[in-house]
Amino acid sequence: YISAAKTYYTQAEVDAQIKFYDTAVGQNILAKQPQITAAFLKQSLPQDTSETENQLSELLPQMKQIVKGIF
């Protein structure tokens, strides 16, 4: 993370973030991050899973033909 952050943030931006997250509002935002991340993953993963399942369903007949041809 540090390497990526150094690529995109200036030292002034990092200092401003530190100053902000030391405030009551910043601390409140940090405290909520785990719940926000969990809610995001809960909402996004089922969509990803269903898309993957659909793709696998479409590929399964082709995969069976390939395996059948090998054996």
Q: Looking at the chain, which runs of residues are DSSP E strands?
A: none
* pLDDT, tens digit, 9 for 90 and up, residues 4-44: 889 999 999 999 999 999 999 999 999 999 999 988 888 87
Q: Does 48 score more than 70 pLDDT? A: no
Q: DSSP string spanning 36-69? A: HHHHHHHHHHHHHHHHHHHHHHHHHHHHHHHHHH
Q: In the numeric block, which tokens belong to residue 10? A: 């200036």
Higher local confidence (pLDDT), 48 or 61: 61
pTM: 0.53
Higher local confidence (pLDDT), 47 or 68: 68
